[in-house]
A and B are shown apart, each in its own frame.
Chain A
Amino acid sequence: MSQTKKICCVAALAIVLLSLLPWSLGVYKLHVMIVCFFYVMMAASWNLIAGYTGQVSFGHAAFAGIGAYASALLSLKAGVSPWIGVILGTLIAAVLGFCLGVICLKMGGIYLSLTTLGFSAIIQIVIINEYEITRGTMGLQVPGFFAEYSKLSYYYLLLIGALITLAVVYAAIHSRLGVNFRAVQNDERAAASLGVNVVRVRVLAFTISSALAGFAGGLYGHYLLLITPEIPSLDQQFLVLSMTVIGGMGSFAGPIIGAFSLEILSEYIRVYGEYHVLVFGLVALVAARFAPRGIVGIAQDIGMVKRLRRLMAPAVRGRA
């Protein structure tokens, strides 16, 4: 119970701080924070499949792209309000996620990764080449949410979006479904022998995760006002992957920490061009090998060492 209370306290404090923060930030820093929120949404939802069910999907950025382009095209061509567009975009991403999930989740493992990689490439190629609809690499101009453009409004909107995403992820992993997620990740065969419908659990995780990516992409697109095939790109995918792995895969806080630290860091090293994605990839690789639980894991280990020292201290003193 105290654990839950502690989490609630930290969450409440973070929300209060984040809602007061923008008053002290300039336009540029507001923008960085908004991008951070987008990546929190992406990393947290990717973590749901990769960290909790062990399915490394490379199609997550593609689903963000689907959400962004679906919502954009709906509001441009059909005159749908962006608010409803985002919801529809989320649903479309969910449906496509479900379909892709049904097709490739029976395979599992590396085959899932390969199939989603292919899917991701297809989505990007279609968006680039269907010039008449998507305006290709020129980018598609999208209407915003608000009649009057203000970074502050977007800051709060994306903050709420991130909170909704985190709430969904939290609810999923702390429900019955979450227990099954982890069982499937640990050992599919044992899980099935205990009555877990492995394929269903995986497809469900994949669908929820894809929907959340679509949601993130939709919000982000209407913030950027100009969407390009950069959103469903593999660069983006690997950035999200690095954030999750470096922050701590399979933990709730990991992707949040990873998203903030890597996004803010990449603003500082932006001058070196796109190499930062490469560097992040390398760091993620090293992290996966030597600190598989990421920053969160390292922090926990340090906490454990400290607690051990504290426990040992009286004994040592006693002996002296």
Chain B
Amino acid sequence: MSLIEGRAVCRYFGGVNALANVNFAIEKGSIVGLIGPNGAGKTTLFNVMAGTIKPTTGRILFHGEDVTDQPAYRICRKGIARTFQIPRPFGTMTCLENVVVGIINNLNGPYVKSDVEDKARIALKFVGLGDLIATEARNLNVVQKKKLEIARALATGPEILLLDEVLGGLNTQEIGEAIEFIRLLRDKQNITIFWIEHIMGAIMQAAERVIVLDQGTVLMEGTPREVVSDQRVIRAYLGE
């Protein structure tokens, strides 16, 4: 059984078919890229998977269980975490408090404040924000905000992490580090990664499989090598 599966997922916004009959399956422990031209429906698919919006028709299965009608907070508690393409930090709260939100709403045991804060500090150090623990999130730069997004999402203890364009704004060296970091998440913490990215080089390096969306449908699916050499994909990106 796949970790997460989408069956005939459709989402209409008025007359626009943001998603039209999307089928996909992601295996546990894999790193899967999601690419496609602007407006292909990538972020909409993430929103549907995370319960932020509901699909018009179709189902999302997590561990084989239908989670389509669950509210976003419950989907998070089940183990699906996401980041937002445009970071949405809690601006008036410190980095530590931002991460604490993720932890305290996903506790299995009793709430011990000092434990929670220790855990949050570790999460912040892990993404490289160890020096900014007491900084209010609105004072961070874009790259730091993206790191905070990841730290928060990881703090919820996910099985699968939906990353929405986390590399934007990074330089070449930082991209290399980020790829290492994402691999580490999978290898050491056994977190499955589903990853929207425009930087093809990064996807080529890190992802094992790639799903290509175009105009709300799955154009093709395969290894990164297969995808970049596929005529349909090239056409979708570059036009006729």
Contact = CB atoms under 8 A, between A and B. Distances in A.
Nearest to A200: B73
Nearest to A198: B73
B101 A183 contact: yes
A261 interface: no
A187 B91 CA distance: 9
A185 B155 CA distance: 20
A195 B156 contact: yes
A150 B76 CA distance: 57
A198 B90 CA distance: 14
Interface in A183-211: 183, 185-187, 189-198
Considering residues A189, A193, A196, which has the most beta carbons from chain B within 10 angstroms of its beta carbon?
A193
Interface stretch (B104-112, B192-200, B221-229): B104-112
B92 A193 contact: no
A176 interface: yes
Contacts of B105: 180, 194-197
A182 B97 contact: yes
B73 A176 contact: no
A197 B111 CA distance: 17
Given A191-B101, A195-B73, A196-B101, A182 B93 contact: yes
B157 to A, nearest CB: 10
Contact of A190 (B88, B100, B106): B88
B52 A189 contact: yes
Interface residues of A, number: 19
A48 B92 CA distance: 16
A183 B106 contact: no
A110 interface: no
A126 interface: no
Contact of A193 (B52, B89, B104): B52
Contact of B90 (A182, A192, A195, A250): A182
A107 interface: no
A179 interface: yes
Interface residues of B, number: 29
Considering residues B72, B81, B82, which has the most beta carbons from chain A within 10 angstroms of its beta carbon?
B72
B50 interface: yes
Given A186-B91, A186-B92, A192 B72 contact: yes
Considering residues A180, A194, A198, which has the most beta carbons from chain B within 10 angstroms of its beta carbon?
A194
B19 to A, nearest CB: 19
Contacts of A194: 73, 76, 81, 101-102, 105-106, 152-153, 155-156
B77 interface: yes
B84 A190 contact: yes
Contacts of A189: 52, 72, 88
A183 B100 CA distance: 10
B176 interface: no
B128 interface: no
Nearest to B102: A194
Contacts of A180: 101, 104-105
Contacts of A176: 104, 111
B201 interface: no
Nearest to A183: B101
B205 to A, nearest CB: 27
A183 B90 contact: yes
A192 B84 contact: no
Given A179-B100, A180-B101, A180-B105, A193 B91 contact: no
Contact of B76 (A182, A183, A192, A250): A192
A198 B73 CA distance: 8
Contacts of A196: 73, 101, 105
Contacts of A190: 84, 88-90
The 3 closest A-B pairs by CB, nearest first: A195-B105, A186-B90, A190-B88
Interface of A: 176, 179-180, 182-183, 185-187, 189-198, 250
